[in-house]
Amino acid sequence: MNNPIPYGRQHITDEDIAAVVDVLRSPYLTQGPAIGQFEQAFADYIGARYAVAVANGTAALHLCCLALGVTEGTKVITTPITFSASANCVRYCGGEVYFADIDPETILLDVKAVRALLEQHPKGTFSGIIPVDFAGYPVDMAAFRELADEYGLWLLEDSCHAPGGSFTDQHGVVHRCGDSSLADLAIFSFHPVKHIAAGEGGMITTNDEELYKHLLRLRTHGITSKPEQLLEPSPGGWYMELQVLGYNYRLTDMQAALGLSQLNRVDAMMERRRELAARYDAAFVGTSVQTIVPPAGVGHAYHLYVVQVSDRKGLYDFLRARNIYAQVHYIPVHTMPYYRQFGWKSGDFPNAERYYNQCVSLPMFPTLTNEEQDYVIASVLEFINAAN
């Protein structure tokens, strides 16, 4: 292939461009009607009561931690296999991050490992858990909800990889990732390689009206001018109140318009992702390439298609030499220099570290052609067969 094949790529259509141009010609570039339209459409798609659009997924995580009361000394558990923002959001608020190992079959935070961590400390030590729908594989939030209720914890679901994903609980009920039927809050990202590309952007979903109202204040400096929300009598139409310490984490109307346009075809893009995953699955059957094939009842969203091989660096370099820009997701967060200062070290979570040493994310995006994918598959198999 002459043209590079990235691991992920946005797809911008003429309809997307027209939606953004419409906003540019409107009176509002920010805090206009496109924000509310995007929020309502996204909440309807996910199945949550409320949605709050924000500047990016990291801002969403930060605001959630603030809304959930994370402060100095608050202890929160998350996975080491995630983008660092899933842990950093706790640190932004002065909280303490604890990690638990992953389930090697799913690469998700292992509920048994979390239970073991909770049992090692007095009840009341921890305040919450941040499970991550890694690569698009949905976390069993029913199992985490049961554990959280037992220990009096909140749940924040990081669904950045999984809009449109779902799992079926033991009662046969289907839960969509981030619908907040089991988590207190959930978050999403609209980075260009995600399912919905808005350049940047994020969304928080919840079914809790009080959390929803608090998040609206926090994303706009903590300021309100709405008469029904004022704490003191208004002297005039200009009056506004700074009620809490908030942030400027707003989304622009241009981004909201782009996100809404992309949302209109997200199901078709999801179908294509699953077609590509099925082709990868079939190609690697009977080889030494380890894949993750979810069981029935699990609706994988396939933000990433991850394989595990014995010589990860060899395969990575081999693919790069052939213009295939595979990627690695992720370096375990607890091994990063920043988190080592808190006592975390290599060897703490064997499953996570073993996974990292073997993982490669192959190209996965809706406009990947069958020809391009065949080239990727042939290249992987060429390397594997030569190594054997």
- Contact indicator for 365, 193 with CB cutoff of 8 Å: yes
Q: What are phi and psi of 156, to 5 degrees?
A: -120, 110
Query: Which entry of 75, 123, 194, 213 is annotated as an active-site residue?
Result: 194
SS (H, E, C) the chain: CCCCEECCCCCCCHHHHHHHHHHHCCCCCECCHHHHHHHHHHHHHHCCCEEEEECCHHHHHHHHHHHCCCCCCCEEEECCCCCCHHHHHHHHCCCEEEECCECCCCCCECHHHHHHHHHCCCCCCCCEEECECHHHCCCCHHHHHHHHHHHCCEEEEECCCCCCCEEECCCCCEEECCCCCCCCEEEEECCCCCCCCCCCCEEEEECCHHHHHHHHHHCECCEECCHHHCCCCCCCCCCCEECCCCCECCCEHHHHHHHHHHHCCHHHHHHHHHHHHHHHHHHHCCCCCECCCCCCCEECCCCCEEEECCCHHHHHHHHHHCCEECECCCCCHHHCHHHHCCCCCCCCCHHHHHHHHHEEEECCCCCCCHHHHHHHHHHHHHHHHHHC
Is 345 among the residues known to form the active site? no
Q: ∠ CA 363-315-352 to the nearest 5 degrees? A: 80
Question: Pairing state of beta strands 241-242 and 223-224?
Answer: antiparallel
Active site residues: 194
